């Protein structure tokens, strides 16, 4: 099975060597277009074709309210660049975002789930805008290390049929995972991002929290499930969190992380995000994410339900009891999910409590008469129990 | 790109080189007492796959266009992928011998999603059936892999003596799924356990 490369936003610690960026280049201003016939124009042309593939991808989340919201956050951060960027929300349950030099910005749903507030989303978007403004991709393309990648992108632009290889690549890796930025470029992007956050009135301390949360998540994972070497061995992300925390301490003036706004805006897709997260089958890590969410939204039925599900599916000693507790709570909340009853029924059945199982399964079918597994679940209801 | 293609071919369940043999229209032993009647339009991939002899892969037009996976029992602690079991990669769901049919169906769907590396999977019409003369389950699914091709599939199986006996089929939604579906339905209906 193939692991999606964890680069893009997470690239910093990966790029081991700290070589200087190639040459001096003017940062990108509003309405920037590369000079015709230049290497950069060539790169843009190739990226435009990749973007076409992204636009047609079945993995795109097309809910306008969500896409507009992410774009609004980007525009609030960088009003100068607002007219030049196009936001794509990609349904992939990993933490990542990227911004290509032609203005194509990808935000993965795993990132949306993990941000606790708008300021944390702004952290990642601001960082990516930082790479964009400083033209790190172009510098990377001119850099020896990335020559092969550049060649691949260019050949795509020249040869690939729309929607074919282009879309496969665009979705598979995300544009950002094709170039690796070096550590200086990551620092530079962090600094630009922090500046944008401060100007937009976000508390910059949230930037450090993004990293601290990722570190906590990763520590919860069994060794074998951690990324190839990235979090497992590298202290770089802890340094990065520390640096960001120090820089944030200098912020003056009022700031609002906009947590309420963020959680309310994501509400329509929260269930989808959680469902996709659980499908990764990395329950230890998911439970950290769910725990943070439950703290912010103690009365959210979906959060409680999927926490129960994480325990039920992880199925380690004591998990059935934990699942039963969480699911029982979830079932009593307003907006309880029908599936909560199904999960409760499964646990009762495993414990040979047929009566309780019958009641839960009956309630499930009552709440979700059109459920795809109605017939199978009905077969578990045994009369005379 | 080659590795990606190989993964797409058969949800990463293929490993090593591939040779095929014709399948006669007679009962074919899959393993541990499961047999199905062969369909001559399908070919069998030869050679042991991973550590499990009781796992077969059949195709009519090539694995990219239709793939049928037959399991003569997935035991306690095993995954859907003999390759993953061999390499001891256990991010995949692990089968529990005491699973009921809904849990078994859940295991299959979650495993296919994980093998396909995609969030885009939907199961529908999950129902009880008789499979090989036992209480079994059946469902259909639609999955989109990284190649952006929509594939439809059918999974059917039963849990007996702590093992999950399973047949699942998938093919691109356009043309190929329907084309071999009748033969697949006959194979499922012919299961003996």
Q: Tell me what the pLDDT averaged over chain B comes to.
A: 88
Q: Do A372 and B113 touch (CB under 8 A)?
A: no
**Are A231 and A340 part of one and the same domain?**
no
Q: Given pLDDT bands bounded at 50, 70 and 90, which one contains residue A241?
A: confident
The CATH number that applies at residue A339 is 1.25.40.10
Q: What is the pLDDT of residue B91?
A: 76
Q: How far apart are the first and last CA of chain B?
A: 41
State which residue of chain B sits closest to A277, comparing Cα positions.
B119
Chain B positions contacting chain A at CB under 8 Å are 3-4, 7, 12, 84, 89-93, 96, 98, 100-103, 105, 110, 113-115, 117, 119-121, 123-128, 137, 139, 144, 146-148, 150
Q: State which of A216, A248, A280 marks the end of a domain.
A: A248
Report, as an integer, the average pLDDT of A194-204: 95
Q: Tell me what the pLDDT averaged over chain A comes to.
A: 83
- Between A120 and B148, the more confident residue is A120
Q: Given pLDDT bands bounded at 50, 70 and 90, which one contains residue A143?
A: low
Report, as an integer, the average pLDDT of B96-125: 94
Contact A365/B at CB under 8 A? no
Assigned domain for A190 exists: yes
Percentage helix, strand, coil for chain B under 3-state DSSP, each rounded to 5: 20, 40, 40
ipTM of the complex in this document: 0.90
**Nearest 10 degrees: CA dihedral of B141, B8, A282, A340?**
-10
Q: Given pLDDT bands bounded at 50, 70 and 90, which one contains residue A146?
A: low
Q: State which of A193, A218, A248 marks the end of a domain.
A: A248
Q: Do B148 and A163 touch (CB under 8 A)?
A: yes
**Are A67 and A183 part of one and the same domain?**
yes
Assigned domain for A164 exists: yes
**Are A337 and A233 part of one and the same domain?**
no
Q: State which of A182, A213, A248 marks the end of a domain.
A: A248
- Between A264 and A54, the more confident residue is A264
Contact A242/B at CB under 8 A? no
* A15 contacts: CB under 8 Å, gap ≥ 6: A180, A181, A182, A183, A185, A186
Q: What is the pLDDT of residue A171?
A: 44
Q: Measure the CA angle with vertex A63, ends A59 and A68; round to 5°.
A: 110
Assigned domain for A384 exists: no
**Are A158 and A276 part of one and the same domain?**
no
Distance in Å, alpha carbon of B148 to nearest chain A alpha carbon: 6
State which residue of chain B sits closest to A373, comparing Cα positions.
B126
DSSP B100-153: -HHHHHHHHHHHHHHHHT-S-EEEEEEEEEEETTEEEEEEEEEEE-TT--EEEE
Digit-coded pLDDT (tens) for A78-89: 999 999 999 999
Contact A133/B at CB under 8 A? no
Pick the residue of B8, B118, B140 with the most A CBs within 10 A to test the interface with A by mutation.
Answer: B118
Contact A151/B at CB under 8 A? no
Q: Do B91 and A349 touch (CB under 8 A)?
A: no
CB-CB neighbors (< 8 A) of A155 in chain B: none
Domain map (residue ranges) of chain B? 2-174
Contact A372/B at CB under 8 A? yes
**Are A162 and A97 part of one and the same domain?**
yes
Helix (H, G, I), strand (E, B) or coil at B35: strand
Q: Which residues pair with B45 in a beta bridge?
A: B20
**Are A53 and A108 part of one and the same domain?**
yes
State which residue of chain B sits closest to A93, comparing Cα positions.
B119
Assigned domain for A255 exists: no
Range scoring the smallest mean pLDDT among A11-25, B67-81, B105-119: A11-25
Q: Smallest Cα–Cα separation from A302: which of A331, A337, A326, A268? A: A337
Q: What is the pLDDT of residue B108?
A: 97
**Are A115 and A220 part of one and the same domain?**
yes
Q: Could you give the CA distance from residue A91 to residue A280 in angstroms, rounded to a whole number?
A: 13
Q: Which domain holds residue A181?
A: 8-248
Q: Could you give the CA distance from residue A48 to residue A156 in angstroms, rounded to a whole number?
A: 10
Residue ranges of E strands in chain A: 86-90, 97-99, 104-108
Report the phi/psi class of residue A211: left, alpha or beta, with left for phi > 0 and alpha for psi in -120 to 50: alpha
The helix (H) or strand (E) run that includes residue B74 is strand B67-74
Q: Measure the CA angle with vertex A166, ends A164 and A170; round to 5°.
A: 125
Digit-coded pLDDT (tens) for A209-218: 999 999 899 8
> Are A50 and A70 spatial neighbours (Cβ–Cβ below 8 Å)?
no
For β-strands B27-31 and B20-22, DSSP reports them as: unpaired
Residue B105 reports pLDDT greater than 60: yes
Q: Do B139 and A377 touch (CB under 8 A)?
A: no
Q: Do B150 and A59 touch (CB under 8 A)?
A: no
Assigned domain for A257 exists: no
Class of domain B2-174: alpha beta
Of A167, A372, A375, the CB nearest to B123: A372
Residue B51 reports pLDDT greater than 80: no
Backbone angles phi, psi at B86, to 5 degrees: -60, -45
Q: Measure the CA angle with vertex B4, ends B3 and B7; round to 5°.
A: 90
Digit-coded pLDDT (tens) for B155-183: 999 999 999 999 999 999 999 999 999 99
Q: Do B100 and A279 touch (CB under 8 A)?
A: no
**Are A59 and A191 part of one and the same domain?**
yes
Q: How many domains does chain A fold into?
A: 2
Residue A24 reports pLDDT greater than 80: no
**CB proximity under 8 Å: A 31-70 to B:** 56-59
Q: What is the rounded radius of gyration, in angstroms, for the C-alpha atoms of chain A?
A: 23
């Amino acid at each position: 099975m193939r692991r999606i490369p964890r680069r893009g936003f997470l690239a910093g610690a990966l790029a081991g060597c700290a070589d200087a960026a190639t040459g001096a280049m003017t940062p990108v201003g509003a309405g920037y277009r590369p000079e015709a016939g230049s290497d950069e124009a060539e790169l843009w042309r190739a990226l435009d074709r990749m973007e076409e593939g992204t636009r047609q991808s079945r993995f795109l989340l097309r809910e306008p309210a969500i896409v507009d919201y992410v774009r609004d956050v980007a525009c609030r951060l960088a009003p100068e660049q607002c007219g030049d960027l196009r936001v794509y929300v990609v349904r992939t349950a990993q933490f990542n975002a990227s911004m290509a030099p032609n203005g194509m910005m990808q935000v993965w749903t795993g990132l949306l789930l993990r941000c606790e507030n708008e300021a944390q989303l702004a952290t990642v978007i601001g960082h990516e805008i930082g790479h964009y403004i400083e033209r790190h991709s172009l510098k990377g393309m001119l850099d020896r290390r990335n020559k092969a990648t550049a060649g691949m992108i260019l050949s795509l632009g020249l040869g690939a049929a729309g929607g074919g290889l282009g879309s496969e690549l665009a979705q598979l890796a995300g544009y950002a995972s094709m170039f690796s930025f070096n550590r200086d470029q990551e620092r530079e992007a962090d600094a630009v991002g922090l500046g944008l956050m401060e100007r937009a009135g976000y508390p910059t301390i949230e930037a450090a929290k993004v990293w601290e949360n990722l570190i906590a998540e990763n520590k919860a994972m069994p060794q074998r499930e951690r990324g190839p070497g990235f979090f497992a061995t590298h202290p770089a992300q802890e340094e990065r969190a520390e640096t960001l925390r120090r820089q944030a301490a200098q912020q003056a003036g009022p700031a609002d992380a906009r947590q309420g706004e963020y959680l309310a805006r994501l509400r329509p897709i929260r269930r989808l995000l959680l469902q996709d997260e659980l499908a990764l089958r990395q329950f230890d890590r998911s439970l950290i994410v769910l725990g943070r969410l439950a703290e912010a939204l103690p009365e959210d039925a979906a959060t409680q339900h999927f926490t129960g599900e994480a325990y039920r599916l992880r199925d380690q000693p004591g998990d059935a009891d934990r699942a039963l507790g969480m699911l029982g709570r979830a079932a009593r909340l307003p907006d309880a999910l029908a599936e909560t009853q199904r999960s409760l029924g499964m646990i009762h059945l495993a414990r040979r409590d047929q009566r309780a199982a019958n009641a839960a399964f009956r309630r499930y079918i009552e709440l979700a008469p059109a459920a795809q597994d109605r017939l199978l679940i009905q077969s578990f209801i045994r009369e005379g129990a | 790109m080659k590795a990606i293609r190989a993964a797409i071919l058969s949800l990463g369940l293929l490993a090593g080189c591939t040779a095929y043999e014709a399948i006669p229209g007679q009962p074919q032993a899959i393993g541990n007492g499961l047999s199905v009647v062969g369909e001559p339009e399908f070919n069998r991939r030869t050679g042991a796959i991973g550590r499990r002899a009781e796992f077969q892969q059949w195709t009519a037009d090539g694995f990219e266009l239709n793939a049928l996976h037959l399991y003569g029992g997935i035991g306690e602690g095993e995954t859907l992928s003999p390759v993953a079991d061999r390499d001891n990669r256990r991010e995949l769901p692990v089968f529990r011998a005491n699973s009921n049919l809904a849990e078994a169906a859940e295991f299959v769907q979650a495993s296919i999603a994980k093998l396909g590396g995609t969030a885009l999977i939907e199961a529908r019409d999950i129902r009880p059936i008789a499979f090989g003369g036992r209480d079994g389950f059946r469902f259909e699914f639609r999955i989109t892999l990284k190649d952006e091709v929509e594939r439809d599939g059918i999974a059917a199986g039963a849990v007996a003596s702590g093992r999950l006996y399973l047949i699942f089929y998938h093919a691109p939604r356009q043309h190929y799924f329907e084309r071999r579906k009748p033969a697949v339905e006959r194979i499922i209906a012919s299961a003996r356990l």
